Structure 1
Amino acid sequence: MKGKKWYKDPEIAEKYEPKRFSGAGGSYINQTEKSCVKNALGEIKDQKILEIATGTGRFSLMLAEMGADVTACDISSPMLEIAQTKADKKGLTDTINFFKGDAEKLPFKDNTFDKVMAIRFMHLVDEPEKFLKEMARVSKNTVIFDTFNLQSFRILYNKILPMDSRLYSNEEIKELAEKTNLEITDKIDSFVIPFAIYRFTPDLLANTLKEIDYTILNKQTGKKLSSVTYWKLKKKKTKEEK
């Protein structure tokens, strides 16, 4: 997996959220991502949710506040320490179990969780089929993840990013779902304008940029140019279950 050493750096962990989600542009990224994840998850109150690659706990804390019983793993101890501190401050210690772990070999029995999710993760993996199979194994039914898209403006600056993110076409995701015995039930397209542009946009121009993004995305051609897609999949029934 790309970036293992990079994400484990304490300095990277400390700067992770301030670098990405501060200012008007960063706040818009954070709010929009959380909204897309909420829409993909649906009702989760009292459900057992596993989040893979939780990082500093942005989504795990949101899930706990929505009433879910959350288990969250990451490979980075510094990231997890920040996530745990945030959970403690919000009084969510009893509803989130953070642990250091590798998504290739999850320490859970089959069908342990109602839903399993991984956001900002699939662009880093070298063998997506292996990871997706493991996610599906421990889920009772639903798997959610996001991808950076091949037919988007992200391709223009992808090579200069620290981990050279993997980009996917819709066809690749369909093939991946088929190989892992999953069925796509929903997809949410977002962000025609790549994340990085929002991060460096002055606060006074952020609203204008958001309006442009929204206008393009809500046109048919705009959806094809979205830089991020959130995928919701479910397990196909076995012969015995049919």
Structure 2
Amino acid sequence: MLQRTISRIDLWRYRKVAQFCFGSVLDMGCGQQGLRNALSPSINYVGCDIDGGMVRGSAISLPFLDRTFDIVVLCEILEHLDAPGQAIREAARVAKNRIIISVPNDYSLVRLARLALGRDVEIDDEHIVSYNAFNLRSMLARSNFVTQKEFSFPLRLQLLPEIPIQSRFGYWQFSIADRRN
């Protein structure tokens, strides 16, 4: 697997996600395991990816028992999958308490600027589906998880510096959902 440097903006994302983590964490589609370094040393981290990670596995068929992890994280993978609903169901199956998702924000300044300029809104050819908070909330609810917090972060416009604040127009959409009792 080709190693690349993790960008400053990706580090911000991992730090945001880490704020909501505790206990044992499964990082689905972990890539270079960037989240691992943002987590407290007391957290038991497992990275799973089809092309690497500590455990090789697919997001739509995880090689773990039911409710194995306190938290399951899906950072920037749903938009790449043909079966995102199945990936969320698998995350719900192996999560005891929480699912954390980040996806590109449909309403980011980057996408809105591209739309205003008449350019393709989707930046990455590998993205199959786009999401907003409503879509994620609905998908999580079907898997018996209730969204506790949702926000967009950071503020970003191409060719300008990113601003590390939460905004409706932030680059990524985050959803933090807990299992219904």
TM-score strictly above 0.5: yes
Aligned to 1:117: 73
Aligned to 1:68: 43
Once residues 65 and 135 of structure 2 are traced to their aligned partners in structure 1, the CA distance between those partners, rounded to angstroms, is 28
Aligned pair partner of 1:99 in 51, 55, 63: 55
Aligned to 1:4: none
Q: Would you say 1:232 and 2:167 are equivalent positions?
A: no
User: What is the aligned-residue identity percentage?
Assistant: 18
One-letter identity of the residue aligned with 2:28? I
Aligned to 1:151: 107
* TM value normalised by structure 1: 0.64
Cα gap change, 1:224 to 1:30, in 2 (>3 Å): closer
Q: Per-residue deviation at 1:184? A: 0.2
Q: Would you say 1:31 and 2:6 are equivalent positions?
A: no
**Alignment deviations for residues 109-152 of structure 1 (CA, whole Å, 9 cap, x no partner):** 21111111121212212222211111011111111110212122
- More relative contact order, 1 or 2 (CA 8 Å, 6+ apart): 1
Cα gap change, 1:160 to 1:116, in 2 (>3 Å): closer
Q: Would you say 1:186 and 2:149 are equivalent positions?
A: yes
Q: Would you say 1:169 and 2:132 are equivalent positions?
A: yes
**Alignment deviations for residues 10-44 of structure 1 (CA, whole Å, 9 cap, x no partner):** 4xx33xx33xx4xxxx32x1332122112232xx2
One-letter identity of the residue aligned with 1:39? Q
Residues 149, 227 of structure 1: 8 Å contact kept: yes
Q: Per-residue deviation at 1:153? A: 3.1
Q: Which has the higher helix share?
A: 1
* TM value normalised by structure 2: 0.83
Number of residues of Structure 1 aligned to a counterpart in Structure 2 = 174
Cα gap change, 1:57 to 1:193, in 2 (>3 Å): same
Structure 1: 4+ residue segments shifted above 6 A: none
Cα gap change, 1:38 to 1:179, in 2 (>3 Å): same
CA root-mean-square deviation: 2.2
Q: Per-residue deviation at 1:228? A: 0.7
Once residues 138 and 68 of structure 2 are traced to their aligned partners in structure 1, the CA distance between those partners, rounded to angstroms, is 25
| Largest Rg, 1 or 2 | 1
Specify every segment of 5 or more residues in structure 2 that has no aligned partner in the other structure, as ranges: 115-119
Specify every segment of 5 or more residues in structure 1 that has no aligned partner in the other structure, as ranges: 1-9, 81-97, 238-242
Cα gap change, 1:179 to 1:154, in 2 (>3 Å): farther
